[in-house]
């Protein structure tokens, strides 16, 4: 039986605005969202000052028990190796055929782990990822968000495009409703509201 549980990584300085559309609309379409942290029982604080208590630890997270792992950006992605275990977990997920979605600084973490070396991807700008020394620069794509197989990537200014790729990959909406959803939240198209709610 296919799982309907999505896992959102949370860590200090995570960019809370980058995953809000994704998690809210997944929850509204029948998915369960659970948070994953490095340690049990220790709250983390987002860039916006929101406190989150992880539902489970990264060590306890299994790809076969998840529909998707979402990695938000965070200041810590570029401040050392503290978040490297999340990039390693992403590699494990992809190896098991379970999708991973990374936005903003999380893409640099995946680049350092070698996850982007053989997959099309995007980020904030190409030279941001190039600074990691990764081998996948030829696969960098100038786009709001990119899906390559089980990997979804986006830059920090594209949380709606990021959510569109996630919702599409998990089948939360059919193609027509997904198009209406994107036109409503990305383009402020009032006609899309009725299409989405038809």
C-alpha–C-alpha distance, residues 110 and 129, integer Å: 10
Active-site annotation holder among 103, 104, 152, 196: 104
Taking residue 38's Cβ as centre, other Cβ atoms within 10 Å add up to 18
Task: Retrieve residue 79's tokens.
Answer: 């401040």
Maximum C-alpha span of the chain: 48
Q: Answer for the pair 54, 44: CB distance below 8 angstroms, yes or no.
A: yes
Q: Answer for the pair 155, 103: CB distance below 8 angstroms, yes or no.
A: yes
C-alpha–C-alpha distance, residues 109 and 78, integer Å: 8
DSSP helix/strand/coil, 151? strand
CA angle, residues 87, 92, 82, in degrees to nearest 5: 25
104 tagged catalytic: yes
**Residues annotated as catalytic (active site), given as ranges:** 104
């Amino acid at each position: 039986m296919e799982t309907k549980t999505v896992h959102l990584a949370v860590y200090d300085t995570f960019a809370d605005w980058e995953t809000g559309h994704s998690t809210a609309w997944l929850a509204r379409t029948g998915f369960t969202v659970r948070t994953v942290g490095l340690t049990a029982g220790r709250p983390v604080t987002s860039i916006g000052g929101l406190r989150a208590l992880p539902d489970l630890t990264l060590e306890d997270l299994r790809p076969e028990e998840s529909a998707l792992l979402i990695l938000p950006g965070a200041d810590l992605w570029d401040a050392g190796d503290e978040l490297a275990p999340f990039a390693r977990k992403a590699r494990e997920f992809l190896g098991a055929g379970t999708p991973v979605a990374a936005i903003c600084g999380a893409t640099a973490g995946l680049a350092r782990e070698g996850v982007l070396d053989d997959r099309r991807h995007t980020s904030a700008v190409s030279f941001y990822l190039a600074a990691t020394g990764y081998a996948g620069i030829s696969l960098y794509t100038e786009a709001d968000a990119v899906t390559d197989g089980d990997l979804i990537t986006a830059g920090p200014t594209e949380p709606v495009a990021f959510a569109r790729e996630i919702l599409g990959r998990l089948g939360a909406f059919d193609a027509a409703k997904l198009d209406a959803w994107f036109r409503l939240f990305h383009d402020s198209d009032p006609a899309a509201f009725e299409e989405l709610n038809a």
